[in-house]
């Protein structure tokens, strides 16, 4: 009896596995990896020749803000996920600071319904942790399509603020999954608000100084230790925080953004103005160097984009009335490939930071690794291709990027999700097949 044919065979690609890269073939069937190794291509209905390309596990961006519902003029789930797949991202975690915020069972279910077969990639949503819903979080964090709880300890975009230790401790007491934190000290932010000078965006990093982040992260780690819970600390921006986090690796996972690894103050404010404004701020070169050192030392677990779009008109407002945040989901992988080509990190480290560690830390089912039985999510890249970031390439609704004009070596050529080729050579091939990610919880 002849075996059923494979749906697709990917051949001649340099495939990135956790322990190294090798040229091999991958057979796909029913949206999953079916066989890896030397495979007779006559056994496949279709063959994709990936010669000259590096084949990565599908890239996962674990921090994006797509603004739906409530601020769809900036972005929505459809436009944001289009930007994702055009940049090589196959799955993502979206944040709860929408209008209304994602803090109830109904709000979560509404987002999942909006995303299913409308988003271009697979997805999960954070539920916002608040003073009011702490006791409901054990049920909410297990709802379909939820990746975990997100807590804002410092005010950023939206109204999800839990500034006090008692509030954070109450949330940690109730939850079982790893929770993600925006760690800035709201009390210090309020004290220092007069230091944000009108029309002077360079004072953003004076107002939200290093100690705003350091003191909050020190408090957060202490609270997590007391609660014996695992936490994920987002967008770390200072050398001192990395020292704190390095000493608490048993309970802490760490995210760094391409923005903080690529840009530095004061130059970014001189060249980009308010378009470089984000929370926590872009800081000086000492901190950027420390983030790279922490990445090399294995203290950093994930690279997320913190895609946080605002329109040009909003960003052009006079500081501090200009909103903080910038688009980034589409440039996450090209920026990191360029850094890899510059010798800043290895391909294996890049794979850990953009897929494998997300699978491990958040207990993703089916995603994050090229292995038999898993979802056939792949990101195809040309490590030798140099492209310039242009605004006509940017698919986000806001249509701009802080990295416009930057020439980057290493470029996403294709995005495959559950065996479907979604993006190929900057063209959308298969639209709107997004499904909620499943977790082992």
Output the pTM of the full model.
0.97
Looking at the fold, whether 295 and 405 belong to one and the same domain comes out as no
Tens of pLDDT, residues 179-216: 999 999 999 999 999 999 999 999 999 999 999 999 99
For position 269, what pLDDT does the model report?
98
For position 90, what pLDDT does the model report?
98
Q: How many other CB atoms sit within 10 Å of the CB of residue 72?
A: 16
**CATH number of the domain residue 380 falls in:** 2.30.40.10
Whether 30 has a pLDDT exceeding 60, the answer reads yes
Looking at the fold, whether 71 and 206 belong to one and the same domain comes out as yes
Looking at the fold, whether 227 and 105 belong to one and the same domain comes out as yes
In a domain, 436, yes or no: no
In a domain, 334, yes or no: yes
Q: Helix, strand or coil for residue 213?
A: helix
CA distance 85 to 427: 10
CA distance 56 to 383: 11
Average pLDDT over residues 376-390: 98
Whether 156 has a pLDDT exceeding 70, the answer reads no
Of 339, 362, 385, the position where a domain reaches its end is 362
- Residue 165, judged by CB atoms within 10 A of its CB (0-12, 13-18, 19+), counts as middle
Helices 239-246 and 285-296, packing angle to 10 deg: 30
Of 362, 379, 399, the position where a domain reaches its end is 362
Rg value, the chain, Cα: 21
Average pLDDT over residues 77-97: 98
In a domain, 437, yes or no: no
Looking at the fold, whether 169 and 285 belong to one and the same domain comes out as yes
Average pLDDT over residues 60-69: 98
In a domain, 1, yes or no: no
Please choose, from the candidates 404, 423, 430, 398, the residue with its C-alpha nearest in 3D space to the C-alpha of residue 65.
398
User: Which tokens go with 388?
Assistant: 């310039």
In a domain, 197, yes or no: yes
Distances (CA, A) of 161 to 65, 139, 311: 16, 21, 24
For position 160, what pLDDT does the model report?
85
Looking at the fold, whether 48 and 70 belong to one and the same domain comes out as no
CA distance 184 to 193: 13
Looking at the fold, whether 300 and 203 belong to one and the same domain comes out as yes
Q: How many domains would you assign to the chain?
A: 2
Q: Which domain holds residue 380?
A: 6-55+371-428
Tens of pLDDT, residues 427-438: 999 999 999 999
Tens of pLDDT, residues 345-372: 999 999 999 999 999 999 999 999 999 9
Average pLDDT over residues 327-334: 98
Looking at the fold, whether 214 and 179 belong to one and the same domain comes out as yes
Average pLDDT over residues 91-96: 98
DSSP 158: S
CA distance 278 to 285: 17
**CATH number of the domain residue 283 falls in:** 3.20.20.140
* pLDDT tier for residue 1 given thresholds of 50, 70 and 90: very low
The H or E element containing residue 363 is none
Q: To the nearest whole number, what is the mean pLDDT of the chain?
A: 97
* pLDDT tier for residue 158 given thresholds of 50, 70 and 90: low
For position 155, what pLDDT does the model report?
78
Looking at the fold, whether 342 and 380 belong to one and the same domain comes out as no
Looking at the fold, whether 116 and 180 belong to one and the same domain comes out as yes
In a domain, 126, yes or no: yes
Looking at the fold, whether 279 and 356 belong to one and the same domain comes out as yes
CA distance 309 to 73: 10
Distances (CA, A) of 399 to 83, 94, 310, 386: 10, 20, 10, 21
In a domain, 296, yes or no: yes
For position 441, what pLDDT does the model report?
86
Tens of pLDDT, residues 221-245: 999 999 999 999 999 999 999 999 9
The H or E element containing residue 88 is none
Looking at the fold, whether 128 and 242 belong to one and the same domain comes out as yes
Tens of pLDDT, residues 132-144: 999 999 999 999 9
Q: Which residues, at least 6 apart from 185, have a Cβ–Cβ distance to it below 8 Å? A: 153, 154, 163, 211, 212, 213, 215, 216, 219
The pair phi, psi for residue 427, each rounded to 5°, is -120, 140
Q: In the chain, what percentage of residues exceed pLDDT 70?
A: 99
CB-CB contact of 57 with 17 (8 Å) = no
CB-CB contact of 30 with 366 (8 Å) = no
In a domain, 439, yes or no: no
Of 326, 345, 362, the position where a domain reaches its end is 362
CB-CB contact of 283 with 204 (8 Å) = no
Tens of pLDDT, residues 296-322: 999 999 999 999 999 999 999 999 999
Looking at the fold, whether 223 and 106 belong to one and the same domain comes out as yes
């Amino acid at each position: 009896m002849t075996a059923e044919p494979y749906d697709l065979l990917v051949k001649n690609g340099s495939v990135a596995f956790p322990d190294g890269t090798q040229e091999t073939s991958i057979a796909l069937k029913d949206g999953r990896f079916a066989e890896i190794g030397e495979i007779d291509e006559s056994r496949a209905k279709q063959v994709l020749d990936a010669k000259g390309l590096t084949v990565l596990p599908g890239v996962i961006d674990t921090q994006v803000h797509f603004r739906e519902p409530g601020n769809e003029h900036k972005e929505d789930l459809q436009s944001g996920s289009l930007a994702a797949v055009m940049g090589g991202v196959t799955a993502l975690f979206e944040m709860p600071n929408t209008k209304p915020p994602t803090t109830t069972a109904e709000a979560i279910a509404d987002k999942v319904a909006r995303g299913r077969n409308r988003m271009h990639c697979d997805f999960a949503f954070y539920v916002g942790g608040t003073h009011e819903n702490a006791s409901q979080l054990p049920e909410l964090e297990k709802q379909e399509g939820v990746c975990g709880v997100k807590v804002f300890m410092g005010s950023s975009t939206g109204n999800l603020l839990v500034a006090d230790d008692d509030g954070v401790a109450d949330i940690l007491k109730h939850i079982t999954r790893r929770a993600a934190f925006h760690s800035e000290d709201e009390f210090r932010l309020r004290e220092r608000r007069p230091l944000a000078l009108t029309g002077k965006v360079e004072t953003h990093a004076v107002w939200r100084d290093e100690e705003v982040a350091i003191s909050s992260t020190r408090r957060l780690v202490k609270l997590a230790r007391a609660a014996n819970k695992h936490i994920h600390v987002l967008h770390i921006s200072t050398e001192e925080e990395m020292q704190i986090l390095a000493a608490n690796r048993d309970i802490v996972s760490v995210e760094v953004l391409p923005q903080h690894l690529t840009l530095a103050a004061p130059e970014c404010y001189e060249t980009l103005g308010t378009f470089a404004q984000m929370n926590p701020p872009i800081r000086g070169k000492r901190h950027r160097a420390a983030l790279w050192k922490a990445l090399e030392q294995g203290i950093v677990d994930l690279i997320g984009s913190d895609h946080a779009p605002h329109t040009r008109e909003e960003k052009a407002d006079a500081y501090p009335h200009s909103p903080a945040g910038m688009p980034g989901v589409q440039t996450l992988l090209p920026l990191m490939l360029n850094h890899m080509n510059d010798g800043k990190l290895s391909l294996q480290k890049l794979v850990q930071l953009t897929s494998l560690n997300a699978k491990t830390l958040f207990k993703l089912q089916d995603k994050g690794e090229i292995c038999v039985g898993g979802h056939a999510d792949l990101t195809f890249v040309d490590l030798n291709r140099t492209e310039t970031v242009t605004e006509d390439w940017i698919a986000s609704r806001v249509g701009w990027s802080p990295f416009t004009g930057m020439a980057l070596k290493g470029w996403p050529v294709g995005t495959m999700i559950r065996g479907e080729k979604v993006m190929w050579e900057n063209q959308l091939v298969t639209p709107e097949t997004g499904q909620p990610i499943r977790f082992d919880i």
